[in-house]
Structure 1
Amino acid sequence: MPAPVRTAAQWAQFGRDHVSHGLGRMQDLVVVKGEGLDIYTSDGQKLLDFTAGIGVTNLGHCHPAVTAAVQNQVGSLVHMQCSIMFHAPYLQLIERLLPVMPHPSLDQFFFWNSGSEAIEAALKLARKATGRPNVVVFQGAYHGRTYGSGALTRSKPIYTQSTGPLMPGVYTTAYPYWHSLGVPPSTSEEEIVRLAKHQLDMLFRQQVATKDVAAIFIEPVQGEGGYVPCPAPFMNHLRELCDKHGVLLVIDEVQTGFFRTGSYFSVNHIKGFRPDIMIYAKGIANGFPLSGIVSNKEIMATLDVGSLGGTYAGNAVACAAGVAVQDVFASEDIGGNVNARAEQLYNALYALRDSPKTAPLVAQVRGQGLMAAIEFRMPNDPLTHEGLDKGTHIPSNIGKRVQEFCLSKGLVVLTTSCFDTIRFIPALVVSEEQMDKAMKIFTEAVQNVANEG
């Protein structure tokens, strides 16, 4: 029987009726096509997508090289389960990734489907390799929503509320971010690092012995926590501490990897930095479900044969997409475009921060590469009131209002964090013209909220 024809409104209602209530959405629009940074909805709207599927379609929707590779792979081999035999795209992808690892010690890979699953694999590996039960994570961290990964997530309680008890043995310390440390946003990086190091030291003095800790998990730029870059001195401190106490340092590059921050991986910004285990996903395959972990042979050798696996782990079509993505990175100056467009983006955000008209709305501009954020002031958060004259009116829900205005003008942006923050995460192939258009819309949106109050 032919499929029933539905209007956009009917499709949206169908989704509300039959898609799990637990799945939230920004809008009930139905997207039917994507091309580059443009998406098209079933009701005929063309929108400029500055979300990239939350950092997934780094080369834009339906990149021609990725599409061709996938079409070719579908015609030759769709699936070979990884516990039965190798398949060529799996090995070819490793071949492409080996030369771009942030440290040469990272030379053994395992592919899975999602970031959460990769976190689970890293947890298993860290505990097995060290024989220790506990892990340390940071306030604001987002590592997933499954039971293991969800136990490591500290960005919002909604992801695990009313579903406990979660995996035990997880300890939390302050991320080097002014909100986590209770200091104003103007606090120097040196002082923020000092305070975060002190909190970590107190954790090991009072809550858990280092000899019982298998790993420290950290995002080099927190994602759901607010697009907060971790200062290099703190990352280096973690490396020294882990080496001293036999703790594994696990770097979650799920959102930061594959040129999102201007380098292949965010930790490339720190000269000679060595993760013990690195987690990747999202941008690796431009929209096809693929994730994984990488470590060195010594650590990986501690695993029992058969302890890792999964029906669709390292699927042939997803791996072929991943190979095509790496080939584009190798042949085009994606990093150069990221850095040029990031400068354009930050200049627009700094202008909002510094303008007398909109400065009373802006708490901070921050980010790394095309992983950028603007945090707005909040009426009930005194830390964000720094620099304001007493009695200055701060509008409520600034970020949500800005987001809605942008959508009405054809620009899709996302909020993030438990604080009032909008993040910018466009495809890395965004053009100068597209960035200019987006920033004009966004500037108008912030000015509109300033006018409305």
Structure 2
Amino acid sequence: MSHETISQSISVVHPITLSHGKNAEVWDTDGKRYIDFVGGIGVLNLGHCHPRIVAAIQQQATRLTHYAFNAAGHEPYLELMNRLAQFVPVSYPLSGMLTNSGAEAAENALKIARGATGKTAIIAFDGGFHGRTLATLNLNGKVAPYKQRVGVLPGPVYHLPYPSRDTGVSSEQALQALARLFSVEIDVNDVAAFIFEPVQGEAGFLAMEPDFAKALRSFCDQHGILIIVDEIQSGFGRTGQRFAFPRLGIEPDLLLLAKSIAGGMPLGAVVGRKALVDNLPKGGLGGTYSGNPMACAAALATLDEMSDANLSTWGERQEAALVSRFERWQASKLSPYLGRLTGTGAMRGIELLKADGTPATEQLAQLLAAARSAGLLLMPSGSARHIIRLLAPLTIEPEVFEEGLDILERCLAELG
């Protein structure tokens, strides 16, 4: 099928056309089978076409396919928001709104933060990714390709180094950068919010240092600044628990949700402290398709599957299999390009480096092609596209996961 009608500004990692999928396996239009370690870029934590989610969508399609919540409420939206208020592990009364995507959730969080604080400046972090809309572009801690040739971006936005064992930036160094920022660049009283991912996705699964997060929480409480935590990729079980922020020992003021919230249906949310989320005038939040009934039905079925016991079992099983295999690769010196295992829990990346410690970008491109040819789909990430981002469904059958790791092992060994 021709791609002539598709914008050439869209970058497609794998030059194949998919036909159908089942849990962690997909087939292209030529009938070739692939093990899927991409998962729709973190959208399919419960796999392709989960029976419970498919049934919920089918049933809802016979009842109500759409209604704009701004015009009249509907049961799936109301029920989902009540369920999310119970599912998000915070100690305060929570409310929020549903959106069509993660970027839309981030945009609305910026509006909420401005309305609640009367301030406009936002502090984000190097390597962060929060979307491709105009406002979220400026939050991203990376220029190419997202900020190129789009002109002046909405602001003001400032960036700090991201403290993580995976970046080599310590909590102390990040706090020093924060002190410099408020000494040299901007008055602390002009800042509405900090925004960060507890585990950065696009950057290659880099986990924030808990000590920094706790210090930042104290700093923000002292100065009346909000914390927006972006769990669009790390949420809904990706690390082996509901969300990644509890490992930091803090609670966010606003939380961004999307990706695996609804088994592949387009849905996102911004939720948080009720007084904050309720601060804008009537009509200040909303959207025609936001909280579509069928997407809400899929999300409700998703939450039914995401018990703490299931998430823990799936996450621990996947983490154990991957860490064990990676340690074996390291011990056997499988590849001269094998770097670190990044991330935490079941949210992991594999870094490829050259002998001089620089990113092995070309070798990762070779690996993607070789793995695809062998029947495994992988996703690149990292500042130089040198980190394999592993996003296999949490529900992947253990034997299929091992089969995928076998393919990855062979392809790593053959890297020239």
Query: How does 1:228-239 map onto structure 2 within 5 Å?
Result: 228-239=206-217
What letter is aligned with 1:84?
Answer: A
Secondary structure of the 1:25 match is: coil
Residue 292 (structure 2) pairs with residue 304 (structure 1): no
CA distance in 1, matches of 2:232, 2:48: 19
8 Å Cα contact 1:176-1:231 kept in structure 2: yes
Report the CA distance between 1:304 and its aligned residue: 0.9
Residues 352 and 360 in structure 2, CA contact (< 8 A), matched pair in contact too: no
Question: Could you tell me which amino acid in structure 1 is paired with residue 318 of structure 2?
Answer: R
- Measured in 2, the distance between the counterparts of 1:441 and 1:278 equals 37
What SS does structure 2 have at the residue aligned with 1:124? helix
CA distance in 2, matches of 1:106, 1:24: 41
1:5 alignment counterpart: none
SS class of match (1:333): helix
- Cα deviation, residue 402, structure 1: 1.5
CA contact 1:102–1:267 (8 Å) conserved in 2: no
2:183 paired residue number: 205
Match of 1:366 in 2: 342
Q: 85, 98, 110: which one pairs with 1:98?
A: 85
Residue from 351, 370, 383 that aligns with 1:375: 351
- CA distance in 1 between partners of 2:205 and 2:285 (Å): 31
What is the match of residue 238 of structure 2?
Answer: 260
Displacement of 1:369: 2.3
For structure 2, the 5+ residue unaligned runs are: none
Identical residues among aligned pairs (%) = 32
Q: Which residue, out of 423, 426, 442, partners 2:392?
A: 426
Letter in 2 for 1:409: A
Take 1:67 and 1:104, find their aligned partners in 2: how far apart are those partners?
33
Partner of 2:313: 336
**Secondary structure, aligned partner of 2:98:** strand
Kept in 2, the 8 Å contact 1:341–1:431? The answer is: no
Tell me the equivalent position of 1:247: 225
Superposed, 1:56-75 pairs within 5 Å as 56-75=43-62
- Cα separation, partners in 2 of 1:429 and 1:362, compared to 1, 3 Å: same
Cα deviation for residue 298 of structure 1 reads 1.3
1:247 maps to amino acid: I
Preserved CA contact (<8 Å) 1:279 1:294: yes
Q: Deviations over 1:139-159 (max 9, x none)?
A: 001000100111111234211
Shift of 1:278: 0.4
The question of 1:18 aligning with 2:5 is answered: yes
Deviation at 1:447, TM superposition (A): 0.8
Measured after TM superposition, the shift of residue 352 of structure 1 is 2.3
What residue number does 1:316 align with?
Answer: 293
SS at match of 1:278: strand
Partner SS for 2:328? helix
With structure 2 as the length reference, what TM-score do the two structures score?
A: 0.96
Shift of 1:120: 0.2
Secondary structure at the aligned position of 1:33 is classed as strand
Alignment check: 8 A CA contact 1:139 1:172 kept:
yes
Retained in 2: the 8 A contact 1:156–1:417? no
8 Å CA contact 1:361, 1:377 repeated in 2:
yes
Among 141, 149, 157, which residue is 1:154 paired with? Answer: 141
Query: Which whole-Å CA distance do the structure 1 matches of 2:350 and 2:307 have between them?
Result: 31
Aligned match of 2:107: 120
1:159 aligned counterpart, secondary structure? coil
Q: Secondary structure at the match of 1:157?
A: coil
- The CA distance in 1 between the partners of 2:207 and 2:399, in whole Å, is 27
| Offset of residue 353 of structure 1 | 2.9
Contact 1:60-1:428 within 8 A present in 2 as well: yes
Which sections of structure 1, spanning at least 5 residues, go unmatched?
Answer: 1-10, 184-190, 386-393
The 3 A distance-change label for structure 1 pair 298 and 135 is: same
Q: What SS does the aligned partner of 2:103 have?
A: helix
Runs of 4+ in 1 over 3 A off after TM superposition: 177-180
Does structure 1 residue 397 correspond to structure 2 residue 384? no
Cα distance in 2 for residues equivalent to 1:34 and 1:156:
34
Shift in CA distance, 437/288, structure 1 to aligned 2, threshold 3 Å: same
TM-score by length of 1: 0.88
Alpha-carbon deviations, 1:58-79, whole Å to 9, x = none? 1110000000000000000011
The equivalent position to 1:278 in structure 2, one of 255, 260, 263, is: 255
CA contact (8 A) 2:45 2:394 kept: yes
Q: Cα distance 1:331–1:196, how it changes in 2: closer, same or farther (>3 A)?
A: closer
1:272-327 Cα shifts (integer Å, max 9, x gaps) = x2100000000100100000100112112321110111110111110010000001
Larger mean CA deviation between 73-82 and 432-441 belongs to 432-441
- Is the Cα–Cα contact under 8 Å of residues 241 and 308 in structure 2 kept in the other structure? no
In the TM superposition, residue 101 of structure 1 has moved relative to its aligned partner by: 1.3
**Counterparts of 2:267 and 2:101, CA distance in 1:** 6
Q: Distance in 1 between matches of 2:339 and 2:125?
A: 22
Number of residue pairs aligned between Structure 1 and Structure 2: 415
Amino acid at match of 1:446: L
> Once the 2 structures are TM-superposed, how far is the Cα of residue 378 of structure 1 from its aligned partner?
3.8
